[in-house]
Amino acid sequence: MSRVIRRTPEQLRAQRAALLAEVHMTHDELRERARVYAVSERQLMVWHTIEGIDYLLDGTSDQS
């Protein structure tokens, strides 16, 4: 049986902020480093999670 995780937009924004704090980078810094493959495996996982969160938040990726 599959499970569905439900989050409010506020919870998604909080998760996004916590992930960025965890890697000690802004959204722009992490995006740029991921673009040139200058990230650790953990940072790349965080970046992919943030991309998913941004997609769920209607693609608003300009929040830092």
Q: Given its phi and psi angles, is residue 37 left (phi above 0), alpha (psi -120 to 50 degrees) or beta?
A: left
What is the pTM (predicted TM-score) of this model?
0.81
Q: Answer positive or negative: Cα dihedral of 30, 55, 62, 8.
A: negative
pLDDT band at 1 (very low <50, low <70, confident <90, very high): confident
Q: Answer positive or negative: Cα dihedral of 15, 20, 26, 27.
A: negative
Q: What is the mean pLDDT of the chain?
A: 91
Q: What is the CA radius of gyration of the chain?
A: 12
* pLDDT for res 5: 83
Rounded distance between C-alpha atoms, residue 33 and residue 20, angstroms: 13
Q: Is there a contact between 53 and 16 (Cβ–Cβ < 8 Å)?
A: yes
Q: What is the pLDDT of residues 14-45, one digit of tens each?
A: 999 999 999 999 999 999 999 999 999 999 99
